[in-house]
A = this chain, B = another copy of it.
Amino acid sequence: MDMENLIQELQNRYKLSLDSAEKLSKVIEVIQFQKGDTFIRAGKINTTEYLILEGICRSFLENVKGQEVTLSFFNSLKTISPNLTRTKNLISILNVQALTDIKLASFPTLELMRLMNENRAIEMWGNGILQKELMQKVSKEINHISLGAKERLLTFRKEYPLLENQISHSYISSYLGITNVSLSRIRKEISNNRT
């Protein structure tokens, strides 16, 4: 993505004036991580906004048994905001990890808030992100309760097309809440039925 497109993206995404978007673009730092890197950690302070330019990430947490549970995936042009991950005191409650080599546009949340200027706008922006996330969670919860593993995989494919061929399947199974072996079995069942 070139600079002009990026500025337009910022304008749309954060409802900024052209002027503000240009200012924001000046403080943007493009950073890269390697496949496997966990760049936001639960329990650590996180005050940076990320826009994915290339690659795929996941958010995850450990359960009581020490297994990692994948909560959601982020791919190109998705944002990862501290609004999603942090508590009041700026501490992140979840981990975010690169599943491929990734390139991110990053900038301090504070800078964005400064440019948004009005408190009302900042609050609505943050609330909007959270509300959207909540609705997604409700939807995932209902899916998970109502559907069997096979149907959940089909739903996953609709929601994240292509992803199944781009990342390790263990992340997908921990997202679906099944074992790797079950995932493999279900993949086979589905492909057999499609014949």
Q: Are A61 and B142 in contact (CB under 8 A)?
A: yes
Does chain B have a CB within 8 A of A88? yes
Q: Are B85 and A134 in contact (CB under 8 A)?
A: yes
**Interface segment out of the listed A21-29, A64-72, A164-172, A183-191:** A64-72
Q: Are A146 and B67 in contact (CB under 8 A)?
A: yes
Does chain B have a CB within 8 A of A140? yes
Report the separation of the CA atoms of residues A145 and B71 in the bound assembly, to the nearest whole angstrom: 10
Does chain B have a CB within 8 A of A1? no
Quote the shortest CB–CB distance from A187 to chain B (angstroms). 19
Interface residues on A, range: 35 or more
Report the separation of the CA atoms of residues A8 and B137 in the bound assembly, to the nearest whole angstrom: 33
Please classify the interface of chain A as helix (H, G, I), strand (E, B), loop, or mixed, using the class held by over half of its residues: helix
Which A positions have Cβ atoms within 8 angstroms of B?
61, 63-65, 67, 69, 71, 83-88, 93-94, 119, 123-124, 126-128, 130-131, 133-135, 137-138, 140-146, 174, 177
Q: Can you show 30 pairs from A to B with CB atoms below 8 A apart?
A: A63-B142, A69-B142, A69-B145, A69-B146, A71-B138, A83-B127, A84-B127, A84-B131, A84-B134, A86-B131, A87-B135, A88-B124, A88-B127, A88-B128, A88-B131, A123-B123, A123-B126, A123-B127, A130-B130, A130-B131, A133-B134, A134-B134, A134-B137, A137-B141, A140-B141, A144-B145, A144-B177, A145-B174, A145-B177, A146-B177
